[in-house]
Amino acid sequence: MARSKTVAIIGAGSSGLICAKILLDDGFDVILFDRQEELGGIWSSKLAYADLHTQQPGGLMEFSDIFDGEEFSSWQHVHDYLQKYADLFHITERIRFQTRVISISKDDLRNDNISWAIQTETINGKKETYEFDFVIVATGLFSEPYTPIFRGQSHFAGSILSPSDIKSCKQLVNKRVIIVGCGKCATDMAVLAGHYARSCYLVFRKAHWMIPRRIMSGLLPVQVLFTRAFSIPFSLVPGAPYGCLFRFLHEKFPKIFTTMANGISSDIMSTHGPDLFNDKIFIPQHPYQNLENISVIPNGFIPLKREGRIIGKLGTIDEIIDETTVRLNSGEKLEADMIISATGYIRRFPFFSEKHAQMMGLTAHNGDVVLNLYRQVIPVRIPNIAFIGFTGSVGYWMINEVSSHWISDYFLKRLKLPDSEEKMHEEIKTRQAFIRKIFNRTEYDYRYYWAAPLDTYLNDMGLALHRTNNWISEYFGIYRPERLKGLHDERKIIAETGRKPRRFYFSFQLNAILILILIYIYFFCF
């Protein structure tokens, strides 16, 4: 009997767990390493901040194997779900907790016959070296908060913290708080500070789109954003498998889709009304089609802003003048006892040598690391290693589940990849140019572009893009993880027969033809 191929997964957050489960189903022998004492990544007590809740509607932050359905759930609920998932599929016993990966290396990165050497160190200082056939880096987007260095911060008598340092509302009581940033973490912190602090200033360079829990004048829940119909207005992602008609309309009549997107943004603006936009500070400076960041408005944010408990300041911290005084780049001075840097996260891969990181396409950029990876998953011509959880999207969990299947097929040598390095590099460059054009960013962050990555991975594996049996539910139904059930069996059928599994799909075109036939019969046969 052949030996099972071994896989090391670095990180036991949501992306690492789903990848482990899928690889185990495909016969791999999997071990996970995580430096924390519990699984969950950002959904663990170490990284979660006080009152952290998801911004996903019910049934979207889950895996296809286990239904959850909790609405805007707390971090504790998400952690319990992940723990239940890991226990049910016997992943927990495969996790080496409180174990830091020191180095990942091998003598010849391009030789797929050589094992990876992984050196680890436990919390007790015990060092060990393992050998694995494959490696998956699943440290994700949210493992290391970015805390900027402020000019003059040595003068500051208060605390400079990241959101994950805030474990209790009591830390904010009677404090004069400045929060830097305008993303989800920042607005969550603002709500906490608005309730408990003496004052709360939200300082940011530019506003992002914040959406209510109900849109279209309150008639529809925010879940409708997870329908294919609502993804139609957004620009075509290079390489994604769009239909010919859809691509033709986008290329020849782009104003139609711009008008649709403007209609959505106008509805959001009118729903918020003067309570959020009266001072014009929170009005996004980029169109809805080009949204680079999006979040659901936390409960209480608008009432607290209306009452003056949350005050927005457009700008940056220029300097900390003395023990309690902060000067903004506008020259305005604010008094503070606490600064919370909700300025996002950075990606670091300290377990790779500089030489190996460069060979894999991991390039430093403004203190962060840009992942120049094919399909955002694998380095060009460096076999037996993959990265997962680095596509920032509102469909994060579903994308990770599908890309886990993609990785497994890649390790099993079932995927048909481009036949040259040049073609793979061209795919990377084209997508990066798209990201720069649409979002003015360097990362592979799609934000609302959740459908394109899903369809791309499914198409690469030869799987059906339409995951329901008719065009109405496909385009107007909520795209939930349950649509991804059965991917393992579908992949197995393709591997054994070479043919795509049959799935009945009543398409729009078929529907139109049927209507025309019925009209013909009605008028000419009776």
Give residue-wise pLDDT tens across range 8-49: 999 999 999 999 999 999 999 999 999 999 999 999 999 999
pLDDT digits (tens, 9 = 90+) for 117-140: 999 999 999 999 999 999 999 998
Residue 213, pLDDT score: 83
Task: With a cut of 70, say whether residue 361 has pLDDT above it.
Answer: yes
**CATH number of the domain that 111 lies in?**
3.50.50.60
Which tokens hold the place of 255?
Answer: 């104003």
pLDDT digits (tens, 9 = 90+) for 60-94: 899 999 999 888 899 999 999 999 999 999 999 99
Hey, what are 341's tokens? Answer: 């840097």
Share of the chain above pLDDT 70, in %: 95
Give, for 409, the enclosing helix (H) or strand (E): helix 396-411
Q: What is the mean pLDDT of residues 391-418?
A: 93
**Separation of alpha carbons 423 and 321, rounded Å:** 53
The Cα 392–Cα 442 span in angstroms is 12
> 445: pLDDT confidence band, cut at 50, 70 and 90?
low
For residue 46, being part of any structural domain is answered with yes
Provide, rounded to the nearest whole percent, the portion of the chain with pLDDT above 90: 61
Q: What is the mean pLDDT of the chain?
A: 89
The whole-number pLDDT of residue 447 equals 59
Residue 510 lies in a domain: no
Q: Tell me the pLDDT band of 444, cut-offs 50, 70 and 90.
A: low
The sign of the CA dihedral 258, 458, 209, 207 is negative
Flag the least confident range among 197-211, 244-258, 307-321.
Answer: 244-258
According to DSSP, the β-strands at 214-215 and 220-221 are antiparallel
pLDDT value for 322: 95
Q: How many structural domains are present in the chain?
A: 1
Q: What are 3's two structure tokens?
A: 């030996």
* pLDDT over 70 at 478, yes or no: yes
Any domain includes 369: yes
Q: What is the rounded average pLDDT of the residues 418-435?
A: 90
Structure confidence at residue 167 (pLDDT) = 96
Q: Is residue 111 part of a domain?
A: yes
Count CA atoms closer than 13 A to 285's CA, side-chain side.
8
- Give the three-class secondary structure for 171: helix
Pairing between strand 338-341 and 325-328? unpaired
User: In angstroms, rounded to a whole number, what is the distance separating the alpha carbons of residues 357 and 363?
Assistant: 7
**With 80 as the cut, is the pLDDT of residue 504 above it?**
no
Query: 330-334, 360-364, 441-445, 468-472: which has the minimum mean pLDDT?
Result: 441-445
Q: Whole-structure pTM over 0.85, yes or no?
A: yes
Tokens of 198: 């003496």
Quick check: is 54 in a domain? yes
Structural domain range at position 47: 6-144+346-497
Indicate the pLDDT class of residue 1, thresholds 50, 70 and 90. Answer: low
Mean pLDDT of 240-252: 80
For residue 298, give every residue at least 6 positions away whose Cβ sits within 8 Å of its Cβ, in sequence order, or none: 53, 187, 188, 190, 191
**Assigned domain for 355 exists:** yes
**Dihedral over Cα of 321, 327, 329, 330: its sign:** negative
For the segment 186-211, the average pLDDT, to the nearest whole number, is 94
| pLDDT at residue 522 is higher than 70 | no
* Residue, of 293 and 456, whose pLDDT is higher: 456
* Better-predicted residue by pLDDT, 269 or 207: 207
Average pLDDT over residues 141-155: 90
Whether 311 is covered by a domain: the verdict is no
Is 462 within a domain? yes
User: Is pLDDT above 70 for 4?
Assistant: yes
pLDDT at 330 > cutoff 90: yes
Q: Where residue 446 falls among pLDDT bands split at 50, 70, 90?
A: low
Among residues 459, 466, 462, 457, which one has the least CA distance to residue 495? Answer: 462
Q: Roughly how many angstroms between the first and final C-alpha of the chain, as a whole number?
A: 69
CB-based contact 106:43 (threshold 8 Å): no
Q: Which residue has the higher pLDDT, 237 or 403?
A: 403
395 with 456: CB under 8 angstroms? no
Contacts of 10 (CB under 8 A, 6+ apart): 16, 32, 33, 101, 104, 135, 136, 137, 138, 139, 351
Q: For residue 183, which of 389, 341, 72 has the smallest C-alpha distance?
A: 341
Long-range CB contacts for residues 170-176, cutoff 8 Å, separation at least 24: 170/196, 171/50, 171/338, 172/196, 172/197, 172/338, 173/197, 174/198, 175/337, 175/338, 176/324, 176/334, 176/335, 176/336, 176/337, 176/338
